[in-house]
């Protein structure tokens, strides 16, 4: 059996009758499928415990999550393999604690508010794969490392160190956040997992059979970034936002890597290194997307692949075939040198407080 404990916030004021109706419907439905638990409503917060068969809990939680009467559902605890129920007699006992002015209720409300806030913060700092384990009731630290097949993607801003020295720090932070947001959202929308950020670089992965989704995500990232550049006034850092994407498919080691101070659940291995090398190569080949042969072979849609050549990559003993896409979105790419030239043309030396140096440094 599984037990889920979550907290959520009401979307609008709910009358006593409405909360009562939620309780009645819950009790009726839960009784039919063998779920027990308790639902506590304190002012604008719900706190609920649900326990029952794993699949049934998953269905009900999904239905509750979609209910527009509340939002920000944070799973506080998920336990699998439980053998005893905490509330064996309650198919859903609903308790409404709403007497305003009561000091104890105020304290409970504050407690729930703080828990919700802490969870919101922690969730944003936590890797999605780790969150997934936690909501499934699995302790991520106990997950053993394993070899798996993945499509690994590195996506990096062009000339970030160079540009970050030239623009005001707030503008740099805004653009980096906008870049990470658009790339991450696009990757997740296409079924990818964002493994981590390393400065302005995103490391993400897709499952073995998702080469088409991964390539579609790469093109969509370029399209969205191109739109961001177009909608920005001259001399803003966003105008110079370009990225390089390297993608490789193959075996990786997936698991916990780190120390007692900091732990990452991530992927490691030759395929990951290859994706990083391919990303670095985008500057040399003047194309924003560089793909390994394995990615091309894994795709089934008729993408306009173009062989760049057999190239010697750093750390590799022999040349590797590198592919890109023959697509108009890729023609907008600017490497370091072109980027400096564009800055000169758009801003001119010294305009917008920026003096463009001759040689970019990375
Ligand atoms: P129906 O028998 O079709 O009844 C739904 C009734 O709920 C409607 O007639 C209406 O009166 C009311 N209702 C539904 N949606 C809305 C809405 N958006 N606005 C206003 N009124 C609405 N369901 C469970 O089965 N088990 C639970 O443990 C459970 N816990 C919940 C906890 C919370 C905090 C909330 C907000 C909802 C919970 N629900 C629970 C309700 C769940 O989200 C679904 O609304 C419900 O399961 C639908 O069941 P049904 O199809 O049998 O509903």
Confidence of residue 349 (pLDDT cuts 50, 70, 90): low
Report the alpha-carbon distance of residue 252 to residue 272 in Å, rounded.
7
Question: CATH 3.30.70.100 occupies which residues in the chain?
Answer: 2-125
Asked if 237 contacts 248 with a C-beta cutoff of 8 angstroms, the reply is: no
Asked if 37 contacts 89 with a C-beta cutoff of 8 angstroms, the reply is: no
Task: Check pLDDT > 70 for residue 360.
Answer: no
What are residue 265's phi and psi, to 5 degrees? Answer: -100, 110
Six-digit token pair at 332? 């907008």
Answer with the residue of higher pLDDT: 44 or 103: 44
Report the alpha-carbon distance of residue 218 to residue 208 in Å, rounded.
16
Q: Is 90 near ligand 1, meaning CB less than 6 Å away?
A: no
Q: Sign of torsion, CA 259 261 266 271?
A: negative
The predicted-structure confidence for 193-243, as pLDDT tens digits, reads as follows 999 999 999 999 999 999 999 999 999 999 999 999 999 987 889 999 999
Q: What is the model's pTM?
A: 0.76
> Which residue's CA is the closest to the ligand 1 atom numbered 26?
26
CATH of 2-125, one of 3.30.2320.80, 3.30.43.10, 3.40.50.150, 3.30.70.100: 3.30.70.100
3-state SS of 222-285 is HHHHHHHHHCCCCCCHHHHCCEEEEEEEEEEEEEEEECCCCEEEEEECHHHHHHHHHHHHHHHH
Percent of the chain whose pLDDT exceeds 90: 69
Question: CATH 3.30.70.1230 occupies which residues in the chain?
Answer: 144-347
Cα 300 → chain centroid: 25
The structural architecture, per CATH, of the domain 144-347 is 2-Layer Sandwich (3.30)
Strand, helix or coil for residue 286:
coil
Q: Is 4 near ligand 1, meaning CB less than 6 Å away?
A: no
The predicted-structure confidence for 85-142, as pLDDT tens digits, reads as follows 999 999 999 988 866 567 777 888 888 888 888 888 888 888 888 888 888 888 899 9
Report the alpha-carbon distance of residue 329 to residue 241 in Å, rounded.
14
Pocket test for ligand 1, best of 12, 15, 46, 64 (most atoms within 8 A of CB): 64
């Amino acid at each position: 059996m599984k037990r889920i404990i979550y907290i959520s916030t009401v979307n609008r004021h709910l009358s006593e009758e409405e909360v009562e109706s939620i309780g009645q419907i819950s009790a009726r439905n839960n009784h039919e499928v063998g779920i027990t638990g308790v639902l506590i409503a304190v002012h604008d917060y719900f706190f609920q415990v649900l326990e029952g068969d794993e699949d049934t809990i998953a269905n009900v939680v999904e239905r509750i999550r979609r209910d527009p009467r509340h939002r920000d559902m944070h799973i506080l605890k998920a336990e699998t393999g439980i053998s005893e129920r905490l509330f064996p007699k309650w198919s859903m006992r609903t308790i409404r604690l709403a007497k305003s002015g009561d000091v104890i209720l105020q304290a409970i409300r504050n407690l729930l508010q703080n828990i919700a806030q802490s969870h919101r913060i922690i969730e944003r700092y936590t890797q999605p794969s780790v969150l997934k384990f936690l909501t499934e009731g699995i302790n991520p630290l106990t997950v053993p490392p394993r070899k798996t097949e993945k499509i690994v993607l590195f996506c990096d801003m062009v000339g970030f160190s160079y540009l970050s020295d030239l623009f005001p720090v707030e503008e740099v932070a805004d653009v980096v956040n906008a870049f990470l947001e658009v790339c991450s959202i696009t990757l997740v929308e296409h079924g990818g997992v964002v493994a981590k950020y390393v400065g302005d670089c995103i490391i993400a992965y897709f499952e073995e059979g998702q080469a088409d989704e991964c390539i579609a995500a790469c093109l969509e990232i370029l399209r969205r970034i191109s739109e961001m550049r177009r909608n920005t006034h001259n001399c803003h850092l966003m105008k110079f936002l370009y990225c390089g994407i390297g993608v490789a498919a193959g075996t990786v080691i997936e698991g916990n890597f780190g120390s007692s101070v900091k732990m990452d659940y991530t992927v490691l291995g030759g395929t990951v290194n290859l994706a990083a090398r391919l990303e670095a190569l985008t500057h040399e080949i003047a194309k924003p997307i560089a793909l390994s042969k394995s990615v091309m072979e894994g795709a089934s849609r008729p993408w306009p692949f173009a062989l760049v050549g057999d190239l010697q990559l750093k750390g590799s003993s022999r040349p590797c075939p590198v592919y890109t896409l023959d697509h108009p979105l890729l023609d907008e790419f600017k490497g370091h040198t072109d980027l400096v030239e564009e800055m000169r043309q758009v801003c001119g030396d010294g305009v917008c407080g920026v003096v463009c140096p001759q040689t970019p440094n990375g």
